[in-house]
Amino acid sequence: MENGTKKLNVSSLAVEQPLPKSKLWKIIMVASIAAGVQFGWALQLSLLTPYVQLLGIPHKFASFIWLCGPISGMIVQPVVGYYSDNCSSRFGRRRPFIAAGAALVTIAVFLIGFAADLGHASGDPLGKGSKPRAIAVFVVGFWILDVANNMLQGPCRALLADLSGGKAGRMRTSNAFFSFFMAVGNVLGYAAGSYSRLYKIFPFSKTPACDIYCANLKSCFFIAVFLLLSLTILALTVVRENELPEKDEHEIDEKAGGGGKSKVPFFGEIFGALKDLPRPMWILLLVTCLNWIAWFPFFLYDTDWMAKEVYGGKVGDGRLYDLGVHAGALGLLLNSVVLGFMSLSVEFLGKKIGGVKRLWGILNFVLAVCMALTVLVTKMAEKSRQYDAHGTLMAPTSGVKIGALTLFAVLGIPLAVTFSVPFALASIFSSNAGSGQGLSLGVLNLAIVVPQMLVSIVGGPWDDLFGGGNLPGFIVGAVAAAASGILALTMLPSPPADAKPATTMGGFH
């Protein structure tokens, strides 16, 4: 949260008028960029954990690859948020960062998609076994991709808040549309990931170093880049940013400490913001943190769980593991369909049950139950294992498949709230406190990336301690989700039905 925090120093800030409320179609255009971003994320979440294991990284170390996302998010999103709040480019405050992020995604996708080819060209052997050069190229591409995605998402959400004109209801609607388009991107991404013949559209993608699985991944990323660039160019072309009043010299001197420009403007702002966060902000950060401790083990290992625990496959053995990964991608597709419908219902359901914070709390318990039920589905799969006449393990029974896919689908309900409500609350609280949207959402992002870092570091060894499966991490997620639900219901303050336009917008501009 951008430090929506500094209500205490409001008297020292230049008074700015709230942004005018923009037309809904502008908000929808900007929110649609989320579809392009999330298409790529869907491919990462469904295909890359199995892929890195095929490159030779053991399961217990696979989660370390994902550290780049939380680390880049912890640094990049607050930094980009701060500088987008203060950007004076003639192209706007947010748009240059969104455009730069889209360009970086293109570079990253090339590196990830061609990692195996570049690794082989540099000396990696063909066939099974570790491919260190390919892993190095993949990791560099993955880091760039996560940096680029953080450059995109923070300014996009901040621009939506800008376009909402300081209205709480419009902010919730904007974030609901953002969540909806994330669901659209997920559906497209998981559909692409679950189709095993996509590489035939791009026949050059299959090479001696890049098998069918790798070629499919490469082809998916080609489509992801085309979608993202198309949506970004369209949105940035037709949606113009509202002009903000210029800040006076007094405000600039105040933020520079009275003696010119600060040498560390960003770090001074963010540390000051964390120091002065009001109690509602801290509670929001805590609830969000626990919520993401619950979600991230599933995001990391959802398709791996389906392939190993449900289908009984092993990495590198081919048939069953690949079938499980594709079944997991189908489950994530169902999850995204539910996510899309639920995203458009969050505001309505929140009003029906007494507020969005109550809705968030209740659905955190739904998340906890679903995470715990992964144990039941796994035990059912193990108990019903079947072998053919040659002693080869067969795919799980229809009942087990349905149970696993149902879990994926139901999880789309709490996910819609996770993707919208915390960001809407951050925007509302920061507007009321007179803070810049970019930095406030960047600070909220700390409550997302810190638990991701924790899970990335501890998740693999924790699972390995209990036999190398995915269930131990899922159980921790169930406990964290329940704790998040309790705190949301008992301690998180309810936002106003429709916040009055802030008269001190500009705390960190």
3-28: per-residue pLDDT in tens? 333 333 333 333 334 444 557 888 88
Please determine, for residue 436, whether its predicted confidence score (pLDDT) is greater than 60: no
- For the entire predicted model, the pTM comes to 0.68
Sequence-distant (6+) residues with CB within 8 A of 494 are 355, 357, 358
Mean of pLDDT values over 119-127: 80
Tens of pLDDT along 271-309? 555 666 677 778 899 999 999 999 988 887 888 899 889
pLDDT confidence of residue 49: 65
Q: Within the chain, how many helices (H) and strands (E) appear? A: 21, 0
Domains of the chain, each with CATH number or no CATH: 21-241 (1.20.1250.20), 272-508 (1.20.1250.20)
Helix axes 24-31, 132-163, angle to 10 degrees: 170
- DSSP 8-class letter at 207: B
Task: Determine whether 352 is exposed, middle or buried from the number of CB atoms within 10 Å of its CB (0-12, 13-18, 19+).
Answer: exposed
pLDDT confidence of residue 508: 24
Q: Alpha carbon of 378 to those of 17, 403, 471: distances in Å?
A: 56, 10, 9
Q: How many CA atoms lie within 13 A of 69 on its CB side?
A: 21
Alpha carbons 450 and 69: distance in angstroms, whole number: 10
Tens of pLDDT along 159-192? 887 887 767 777 778 888 888 898 888 888 878 7
**Cα four-point dihedral sign 156, 162, 165, 167:** positive
Q: Are 161 and 427 in contact (CB under 8 A)?
A: yes
Q: Are 256 and 46 in contact (CB under 8 A)?
A: no
* Chain position carrying tokens 């989660």: 63
CA 355, chain centre distance (Å): 24
